[in-house]
Amino acid sequence: MPLYKTITAHNQTTVYLWKIEESFDDLQNGIDLQEAHAARVEGMKSDIHRRGFLSIRHLLALAGYIDHDLYYNDFGKPHLKDGTEISITHSFEFTGIIVGKQPVGIDIERGRAKILRIAHKFTPLEEYRTLANEEALIRKLSLVWCAKETLYKMYGQPGLSFLKHIDVHDFDLGEANETLATINYNGMKSLYRVFFLEFDGFSCAYGYPEEQ
């Protein structure tokens, strides 16, 4: 069972990461899907998406849940029926979930040069002029994207803009593995703590509200 990493975070919050190495048939073993979720898997054309979907159900089991405990609201935000907070992510061969008693978010992205072309859409590029080379810029932009995606998932409100409403406080690439981030939306400002991981060419961020 390729559980890649488990991280015990603050206030009964836990992160589970999975590296997808099994076949679809192997991942089906022991998994009972809701009818709607089974239909969703059946409709997926990508094998890695289908296997990713099932690997997340194995992560749920590690956290003490089954697929029938999971549902999504109209915005597509996942919830657990017992009120525990959850966030889900999938990128190529990695999947992850974070569960906790407080709002939580997680995102994994594979590092790719194309982030340089879209960076202006989610963060002010002038903030990154001090970075030494393109590789460092790709790494930092990838982490910033993951952080903003994490907060977007956590906040779960339509209309929230990565560029206009979410600010990831600056951090030192290579030395800091966490930072703060702010959402300023509809006249309300909230503060979050975000943590970073880098592994196998992937970037990951997870977070929760900062205690005031």
Name all domains of the chain by residue range, CATH numbers in brackets: 3-104 (3.90.470.20), 109-206 (3.90.470.20)
Beta strand ranges found along the chain (DSSP E): 3-8, 14-19, 70-72, 78-80, 85-91, 94-100, 105-110, 166-168, 178-185, 188-199, 202-209
Q: What is the pLDDT of residue 28?
A: 96
Q: What is the pLDDT of residue 129?
A: 72
Q: What is the pLDDT of residue 78?
A: 96
Q: What is the pLDDT of residue 11?
A: 76
Provide the residue type at 47 as one letter.
D
Q: What is the pLDDT of residue 212?
A: 60
CA gap 144, 190 in Å, rounded = 18
Q: What is the pLDDT of residue 168?
A: 96
Q: What is the pLDDT of residue 126?
A: 79
Give strand pairing partners of 80.
Answer: 70
Q: What are phi and psi of 136, to 5 degrees?
A: -65, -40
Q: Length of the chain, please?
A: 212
Radius of gyration, CA atoms only, the chain: 17
* Mean pLDDT in consecutive groups of 10 residues from the start of the chain, 212 residues: 89 94 96 96 96 98 98 93 98 98 96 93 83 86 97 93 96 85 96 96 96 70
